[in-house]
Structure 1
């Protein structure tokens, strides 16, 4: 048997210890690297900004779309104009115009009834010039005539305003058709001449209305001065009083019709405005509707389309994201609260780091967005937290950033 020399024993022991020490050192390095990596980023967050769906509260037809896809818009900028007057309401509008025409005819009828009375008063004026009753009648007739003239002018102006709106729409449609070479230039000139002629007529009627109102004030003043003296009311006044009451009825009827027509006209051009500075993006539809779409369909609505109440017409996104959303796993729930200091790390060049606080913490566990799943085939859940993007940090909506607590 070969003897082991005690003299070589320490050397042999050192030879056996070297692999063990190397292995232990490697294990320590792996543990250190793993620990450092696990502590580097606790969660991954995603930058996001506000996105608003622009829709109409009423069903209608888009008459004008003033923006295009990915066009930048300013807060308060008009995006589109929608006509919410439905086809079945055109019949109602026609009925209102008919009633307005009837009211105008009734006012003319009242004016015709007033003329014989006025002639009678003028005949009596030659015989009883000093008679107070005749004077009162004359003052009342003057005031009534001025008032009836005002009613007639108001009714005529209102009727012309409705027709002018139709002519303006016709001019706009003709201009569009002319650009498409669907009509001759003569049609556009004809429409403009009709529009301008009616506009001048309305201006003349407006001046006549102002003059009639001045005449009415003068008549009222003369009547007021005369009324301060003791007056008598012969039987003719009773007839005039009936006319006045009928005139008051027609006035209220005409005012109601005008308000209804004005309400309909205001619904012809409802403007949809941008809620904030941003950019127009494609409409986001429901997931189960994606496969039913044709290429390019419903990306952005165009003029001439009919939209239902609540249907999205545009989607507006902020220029830059304003917040970061992340999801905390169940094992990390106790580490993050509101006002917790965290560090945000952006890995995209140029790399940036910033310290900030957690703004909000969600109340429930929610399904994470698919971009934040570790495995795209395995859904993950977490408690959402929201962090305002620090000033100076340049992020793009949807960009991933690292988040760790301090």
Structure 2
């Protein structure tokens, strides 16, 4: 999701750090929203009264293969749903009347938004990961905690204090959340399963506030967008690599003289039957949690999603090829996996909870994904950058901008609940055919 750069002078906000960079991602636009909030949706206010506005080149140029960016939102002239809202309100509706609260994988969320998974990667360090969790909790949106945190960092400190990255993130979220909104989803990989992470968390008092209110989910990670078909990859120093050598394979890709090695996780092996049984096992062994499944953008993504839902999954996340990561082969980032728009076209479901991630950071891209069948969208790199910009309020301000854009765009197509968005609200590529098919065919 990010690399490292030399620290810069603070640019305003509380607890500012500028350690993260996100090449190929609209980093400066995200940081601006983390500082300015909803005001960043508009041009600079100083230009009002002497500037003329119109369509022009966007400050951020997306990848040429990103259909989601090329799709246009197309309001109708006649709006019967607006008339219904007018009658209901007894006045003309405004964009502020659009309802954004929705249900995400069994959790009530104030926004059609969740924070995507950060695992054991260095960029989601102890303090940054907890800051993201606290802000997500205050927003009332779900947080996903990624894989390999326990096998790499341990479950509890040696003194039993419990201040480890996993428990710290769960506790930070639970302490900042109310009793009704949001929730935490915890991923598990092959190595996590060996460490019995779900069993540990399920019985831990730290999790009880979330379990008691039905706001804990376990997410089975089948894959991720940035490196489909591969397991997690991180770079470790030799001491750390030696400590986790029994759990992970390592590779001397940087040379025998380097003090760093590549750590590789198993991607796991799945067939239809294995996935079906895994979901059923989760429901049977952990009856108090919601069951989520995360898929990489594979060519049979529609079949995989249908299989997970049929087995009882509360949510299926599809991570498009545009998704972020802390470390991956560069060839995978540009050439492997289906773009998110194509995943949504293939899955094509509005009757189940489909979650979508992949280069999300603002309302227009999100509204397109929601209209194509997603219930909510995930912020990954954008969430980390926003909190890196301001540890206390960066994510909140980014979400304020997201909420304003989403309300305006939903109102513009004559609808007043975000769940009512539909492919009819979009100008789709001529070759597209939306389909609820459950096979891997296009």
Q: Normalising by structure 2, what TM-score?
A: 0.19
Tell which has more relative contact order, 1 or 2 (C-alpha 8 A, sep 6+).
1
Which is higher, the Rg of structure 1 or of structure 2?
1
